[in-house]
Amino acid sequence: MTEFYRRLGLKILWAEYNNSVNRLTAAFDKKIKDKKSMVKDARETLSKFTYSKMRKCFNPHSPFLLEKEFFSDIIACNAAVITRILCLAGKADEAMEQLKDFYRQAYMAGFTRDRSFVLNRLDSRTFMPLRRSITRRYLEEIGFNHLDRILLCTGDCQTMQTAERIRYRLDLKGMDVLAYQHRLGSLAESGLAGCFQPVAYFFFVNAAADYALLPDTTRRSMLDSMQYIVDWLHTTRVKKSIFVTHVYFGVDNVVRFKRVKRSTAIDAVTRYSDDVAAILSRAPNAHLIDFRDIAPLSHGTEAFRDAPDYPVPLHIRFDIMDCVSERIAEALAGL
């Protein structure tokens, strides 16, 4: 990092990151009809956060840094806002043309697919709104060179962060990473699924938190969503399915601040997580990594980098994530 970043400050990045994520969420909210102001705000943000400025802050080939994640995700989220709203207006082709320019800017700044995860951050946010329009040609135009040998990563920010660490650890010659920051179902049931061949699949399983915290969910429906992943992977020729299971959250805080029943929270991180792991173990060439083997289960906040009074501790300490990514890298060795 340079003096430019130090002047920018983590607090400013954090605030802009939150604004950008909230803007992207609002772009998908069907209740909000007038979305023109979102495009204006997104473009204004993108005029301040560019890949050339990012290069001044971070070496293109540096390992994972939270600040680097925030910066790249600010660009990706706002690009996705514009993409989403153009797609709603029936202008997916226009959205893709604009996105190609973002990819070119990143590549010119040194963030190339063969060494960096930054382009995958842009993928992870924009593929979902574009999923019905993406073609194999588009993927090739934005830098994919190995569509028949893909490491597919689907899930939330923890999956993306882990995938970035794997990208840094492994050479991955002859493979590309396809990162999709959403549930597998929306990818698998779109045209995007037919554009590539996964040889490995990775998911940092956030099922316990979803089961305990998401409204209108049932145990059966959540387990069915895990079975969906297994069934879909059996339709591919994937050589390895890697899952980090038994990922827990801060039970005490969730009970105290979110009014989740303690019995429900404990069930989520124990018996329910066992059921999830049992289902995922039936995936083709499954390799399960039990998160508790790296960070023993605790109901407190010891494993998290969130503030002690944060209502839903989910963000895991970086030293633990380093150990997780090392285990995954070992499982991928040889592919």
**227 in the same domain as 164:** yes
Residues 110 and 153 in one domain: no
Whole-Å CA distances, 44 to 19, 78, 118: 12, 9, 21
Out of 92, 127, 162, a domain closes at 127
DSSP-assigned letter for residue 290:
E
Residue 2 has pLDDT above 80, yes or no: no
Average pLDDT estimate for 74-86: 98
Both 2 and 100 in one domain: the answer is yes
State the greatest distance between any 2 C-alpha atoms of the chain, in Å, as a whole number.
53
Domain that holds residue 116: 1-127
Q: Are residues 200 and 318 in the same domain?
A: yes
Is pLDDT of 63 > 70? yes
The larger pLDDT score, comparing residue 114 to residue 188, is at 188
CA distance 178 to 194: 13
* 281, 185: one domain: yes
Given this model, what pLDDT does residue 8 score?
A: 55
> What span, in angstroms and rounded, lies between the C-alpha atoms of 153 and 146?
15
Residues 62 and 158 in one domain: no
The whole-number average pLDDT for the span 292-300 is 98
pLDDT at position 153, please?
97
What pLDDT does residue 7 have? 53
Same domain, 153 and 83: no
* pLDDT for position 173: 86
Q: What angle do CA 42, 58, 329 make, to 5 degrees?
A: 100
Q: What is the DSSP letter of 316?
A: B
Residue 133 in any domain: the answer is: no
**Residue 137 covered by a domain:** no
CATH number, domain with residue 196 = 3.40.50.1110
Averaged pLDDT score across all residues of the chain: 94
Q: Does 145 have pLDDT greater than 50?
A: yes
- 198-204/176-180 β-pairing: unpaired
| Cβ within 8 Å of residue 112, ≥6 positions away | 60, 119, 143
Kindly state whether residue 102 falls inside one of the protein's structural domains: yes
C-alpha–C-alpha distance, residues 109 and 50, integer Å: 10
What pLDDT is stored for residue 11 in this prediction? 78
Domain membership of residue 76 (yes or no) is yes
> Residue 10: pLDDT band by 50, 70, 90 thresholds?
confident
**DSSP helix/strand/coil, 132:** coil
- Per the structure block, which two tokens stand in for 154? 């689907």
Q: What's the CA gap between 237 and 99, in Å, rounded?
A: 30
Q: How many domains does the chain have?
A: 2
Q: What pLDDT does 1 receive?
A: 43
Rounded CA-CA distance 58/73 in Å is 14
Q: How far apart are CA 50 and CA 44, in angstroms?
A: 11
Please tell me whether residues 55 and 105 are part of one structural domain.
Answer: yes
Going by C-alpha positions, the residue among 183, 74, 171, 83 that lies closest to residue 118 is 74
Q: What percent of the chain has pLDDT over 90?
A: 86
pLDDT tens profile 155-169: 999 999 999 999 989
Look at residues 240, 121, 146 and name the one whose alpha carbon lies nearest to residue 197.
146
Give me the count of residues in the chain. Answer: 335
Residue 309 predicted with pLDDT over 90: yes
What local confidence, expressed as pLDDT, does residue 277 receive? 98
Mark whether 204 and 240 lie in a shared domain: yes
Question: pLDDT by residue (tens digit) across 210-253?
Answer: 999 998 889 999 999 999 999 999 999 999 999 999 999 999 99
Answer with the residue of higher pLDDT: 61 or 24: 24
